[in-house]
Amino acid sequence: MIWAMTELAKNPRVMRKAQEEIRNTLGLKKETLPLLLPRETMSHVKINGYDIPPKTQILLNVWTIGRDPGRWTDPEAFIPERFANTCADFKGQSFELLPFGSGRRMCPGMPMAVASVELGLLSLLYFFDWILPEGMISEGEIDMKEAGNLTIVKKQPLQLVPVLHH
């Protein structure tokens, strides 16, 4: 939710669009773990010509898959509308987009996570407009450094000033 608010603050066009949509209708999405939880092969498998022996630990880098320029146009840009224009969904069936993993061991908390993030973001965007804190002139100054390892958190806390809208 913090990353979603950070990207929205950096992209006022998308912030305004999301607020208009929410305020006019009373919907949104976003991300993710960089790596899926480790898996171990049960038998010998061959993928793309590579032999993988049994009992090998596999780490799937979904961060890289989600930024693959062969799959996504302008992958580094924050363009949430891209999800409205694709049939790829986040529920484990579209392998280019796997924020909750896939298969038997995919995230069982997905419905709760989606409901919490959507409701949280929706409330922040419906009730408030968001402006930069004193001393910050442009959204370009918002620090985007990452910290953490298994889950990526913001290194510097996001600071924005809420202005009551409703």
Which residue numbers belong to the known binding site for heme? 107
Among residues 124, 151, 127, which one has the least CA distance to residue 6? 124
For the bound state, the minimum distance from the C-beta of residue 11 to ligand HEM, rounded and expressed in Å, comes to 20
* Angle, in degrees to the nearest 10, between helices 110-127 and 12-25: 100
Q: From CA 74, how far away is CA 103, in angstroms rounded?
A: 28
Instruction: Record the tokens describing residue 96, joined without a space.
Output: 């280019």
* Known binding positions: 107
For the bound state, the minimum distance from the C-beta of residue 104 to ligand HEM, rounded and expressed in Å, comes to 7
Site for ligand HEM in 31-50 (CB under 6 A): 32-33, 36-37
153 lines the binding site for ligand HEM (CB under 6 A): no
Nearer to ligand HEM, 107 or 132 (CB): 107
Going 16 to 20 to 23 to 26, the CA torsion angle's sign is negative
Among residues 110, 95, 141, 132, which one has the least CA distance to residue 29? 110
113 lines the binding site for ligand HEM (CB under 6 A): yes
Nearer to ligand HEM, 15 or 36 (CB): 36
Interacting residue ranges for ligand HEM, rule: CB under 6 A: 32-33, 36-37, 99-102, 105-109, 112-113, 117
